[in-house]
């Protein structure tokens, strides 16, 4: 025990998502995940607090990338340019996530009410973080909240459309598509 296991986190995450897909999140135990990954439960708990954390692992990094990019946008940037910078920054996070993994993960969440609630909470806390960053840049209270929620909506729709797409456009293109959609929505109104 305690010895270094190459790619243990990745192997555990892959095994967990496979099992959650096959037999359901509630029906899967940590023992089964460890076994499928060819590792021990102890190794699992060195990497994840519990089996739910496997699903949301990496979300904090994404949150940080997004919020930092908004905070560090040039002073001259408008709120919308700030969130465009945030959306650009998170592409680095998705670079190493194959679309098939993202699709599998989303299907696992969709199948479980508790995971769905958890996902909504994550999105809500991302919006709160973005709103704080905007307020620190001088954006007014109401505008900061609305901009942050809009940013998260644009992001959610882009990821959803990337996951569902049958063509080869990458996430970056879906994000631009989603931002354009927002502009069209408001312009046509």
**Chain residues in the site for a second copy (CB under 8 A):** 78-81, 84, 116-117, 120-121, 124, 141-143, 145-147, 149-150, 153-154, 156-157, 160-161, 177-178, 181-189
Residue 44 or residue 66: which is nearer to a second copy going by CB? 66
Measured in degrees and rounded to the nearest 5, phi and psi for residue 3 equal -75, 160
Instruction: Please say which residue, 30 or 149, places its beta carbon nearer to a second copy.
Output: 149
**91, two tokens:** 């592409």
CB of 148 to a second copy, least distance (A): 9
Q: How far is the CB of 77 from a second copy (least distance, A)?
A: 9
Provide the token pair at 109: 């969440």
Shorter beta-carbon distance to a second copy: residue 72 or 125: 125
Q: How far is the CB of 39 from a second copy (least distance, A)?
A: 32
The dihedral of CA 78, 80, 81, 82: what is its sign?
positive
Query: Closest CB to a second copy among 32 and 53?
Result: 53
Cβ nearer to a second copy, comparing 8 with 127: 127
Q: How far apart are CA 49 and CA 169, in angstroms?
A: 35
Greatest CA span in the chain, whole angstroms? 62
DSSP state of 73: S
- Supply the minimum distance, in Å, between the C-beta of residue 44 and a second copy: 26
Q: Output the smallest distance, CB 154 to a second copy, in A.
A: 7
By CB neighbour count within 10 A (0-12 exposed, 13-18 middle, 19+ buried), where does 72 fall?
A: middle
Phi, psi for residue 6 in degrees, rounded to 5? -60, 130
């Amino acid at each position: 025990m305690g010895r270094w296991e190459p790619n243990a986190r990745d192997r555990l995450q892959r095994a967990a998502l496979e099992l959650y897909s096959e037999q359901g999140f509630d029906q899967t135990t940590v023992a089964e995940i460890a076994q499928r990954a060819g590792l021990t439960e102890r190794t699992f708990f060195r990497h994840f607090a519990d089996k739910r954390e496997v699903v949301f692992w990496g979300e904090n990094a994404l949150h940080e990338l997004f919020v930092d990019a908004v905070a560090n946008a040039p002073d001259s940037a408008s709120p919308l340019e700030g969130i465009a910078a945030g959306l650009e920054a998170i592409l680095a996070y998705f670079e190493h996530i194959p679309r098939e993994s993202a699709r599998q993960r989303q299907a696992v969440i969709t199948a479980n009410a508790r995971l769905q609630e958890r996902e909504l909470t994550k999105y809500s806390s991302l919006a709160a973080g973005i709103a704080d960053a905007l307020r620190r840049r001088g954006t007014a209270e109401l505008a900061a909240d609305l901009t942050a929620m809009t940013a998260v909506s644009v992001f959610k729709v882009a990821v959803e459309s990337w996951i569902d797409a049958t063509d080869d456009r990458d996430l970056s293109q879906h994000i631009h598509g989603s931002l354009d959609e927002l502009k069209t929505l408001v312009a046509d109104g």
